[in-house]
Amino acid sequence: MANEIKSSEITPEKVYLNRRNFMRAGLLAGTTLASAGLYRFFNPQPPKEIQTPQISDVKQAPDFKLEEKLTPFEEITNYNNYYEFSTDKNAVARKAENFITRPWTVEVGGLAGKPKVFDIDELLRFEQEERIYRFRCVEGWSMVIPWVGFPLKKILDAVEPLGAARYVAFQTFYGDVKPDNPQVKLPEGKNFMQTAFSAGIELPYVEGLRLDEAMHPLTILATGLYGKQMPNQNGAPIRLVVPWKYGFKSIKSIVKITLTDTEPPTTWNIAAPDEYGFYSNVNPDVAHRRWSQAKERRIGELGLRESLMFNGYAGEVASLYDGMDLKKYF
């Protein structure tokens, strides 16, 4: 998604002009640049090793297994989209390593009879189960991920949605550049979360679902993967996973969940409304404005796979969209 924002829109003029001077430095600079790029290509940074605590008593959920090869832990934790830290997928793991996720609370409210602020440790005491899901990014790559978590429905039921509630809005933590913010340890006096300007999207990151999508048994709040607590780069300590939708709906590091009566704004829809709709169901028949969605590159495989309607979950979720024009509501 990084290349979808014109560099002239996100690059300050001074930096842009400096770049032009650099270009003028001619062939020599160009050659040096090319060889540096080639060097990085053949000598990539080694993947960052991630150690997070094991989650105890993870229930195996036989209904949510897949006969597909799991994507290795190392790939899932070193190829990330998390714009608050970096727009470079391979850099997120390192940039996010100082993100402090304790103490952490998730405020659940809005149109709710019993709004409540949950402490993360309370949420980790909910029964945790393993869900092996396909994960399909709108950019055209996919993975198979053994998440650990619990149905979002559990936390919504707990706050007792009012009859008027029709949607659920989510918000990611966004660290201010404030030294007294307990969530943000400032390495060498600097914040490690990017500014909204350098990320190229409005922050905090926000997402939304219709209430029936949120209540669907496939929709989970994930607290970990591969049996371990969620690594920072994947959205610690708790994130959404909606396996039949493009990956950007699966918002990370959630601090706020709000029941609403109107469709909530969503980050990528705000950034490019003609490219990213509110629904964003995986749909091989509806192309992105600039590329086809018919195929995908499964990380770790050569060649391309056919993408599946609703990412292979049509049997479970197609009825949610009965009678809807999925080209219009993309």
Interface contacts to ligand MTE, rule CB under 6 A = 1, 80-84, 137, 172, 205, 234-235, 247-248, 250-253
Give, in order, the Cα–Cα distances in Å from 218 to each of 19, 203, 207, 243, 315. 47, 27, 17, 7, 12
Nearest-CA neighbor of 145 among 99, 77, 236, 81? 77
Q: How far is the CB of 243 from ligand MTE (least distance, A)?
A: 12
Are the beta carbons of 175 and 193 closer than 8 angstroms?
A: yes
**Quick one: 128 or 233, whose CB is closer to ligand MTE?**
233
**Quick one: 161 or 279, whose CB is closer to ligand MTE?**
279
The torsion of the CA quartet 268, 270, 274, 279, rounded to 10 degrees, works out to: 60
Q: How far is the CB of 285 from ligand MTE (least distance, A)?
A: 21
Q: Which residues pair with 112 in a beta bridge?
A: 161
Q: How far is the CB of 69 from ligand MTE (least distance, A)?
A: 17
Q: How far is the CB of 84 from ligand MTE (least distance, A)?
A: 6
**How far apart are the two ends of the chain, measured CA to CA in Å?**
17
Ranked by CB distance to ligand MTE, the top (closest) residue is 247
**Quick one: 282 or 286, whose CB is closer to ligand MTE?**
282
Give the contacts of 272 (CB within 8 A, at least 6 positions apart). Answer: 4
**Quick one: 132 or 160, whose CB is closer to ligand MTE?**
132
Q: How far is the CB of 295 from ligand MTE (least distance, A)?
A: 17
**Quick one: 234 or 307, whose CB is closer to ligand MTE?**
234
